[in-house]
Amino acid sequence: MGWFEQARAERLRRHYAGGRGDAFARRAARFYSALHGTWLTPARWVTLEVPGRRSGKPTRFPLGMADVDGRWYLVSMLGECAWVWNVRAADGHAVLRHGRARRVRLVEVPVEERAPVIRRIVQVAPGTRPHVGVDRHEPVEAFEAVAADHPVFQVLPADAS
């Protein structure tokens, strides 16, 4: 990664200091949540809607999905964060929006199985690259070092157990 890319990545990471978005990141998240909920973006860009773990009110998060071997996954680029905690509190029950709402069940992937999924999200979602810290061209083994830091959830139909 050249100096320009490193400087850009550092600027992007600053918006999420301490694992929480600053005012700019929160405004961007609201905008992208609305946009991803429409048909105007690629199908892998979705809005996750899950009850807040404290308030119970629906909260929305714009996310990109990774596809590996015909399965779809959500990856937390920030590691342990609000949407991850909310999904766990809701026992994986959530809604994904992309044009229409789909009830889903999110099942957390064990750490030892996460590396290929994290590699894929870095390949297809440029916004995750500064936060993951592994180059998208690296072999899957390089992603094993950061797998414990980035929760991954497989997306299943709501009626799946």
- Checking if the pLDDT of 9 tops 60, the result is no
pLDDT in tens, 37-59: 666 667 788 989 999 999 999 99
CATH superfamily of 3-157: Electron Transport, Fmn-binding Protein; Chain A (2.30.110.10)
Q: Taking the model in full, what pTM does it have?
A: 0.80
Q: Note the Cα 126 to chain centre separation in Å.
A: 12
pLDDT in tens, 109-161: 999 999 999 999 999 988 888 889 899 999 999 999 999 999 999 999 998 75
What one-letter code names the amino acid at 125?
A
Q: 80 and 97 in contact (C-beta within 8 Å)?
A: no
CA distance 118 to 76: 9
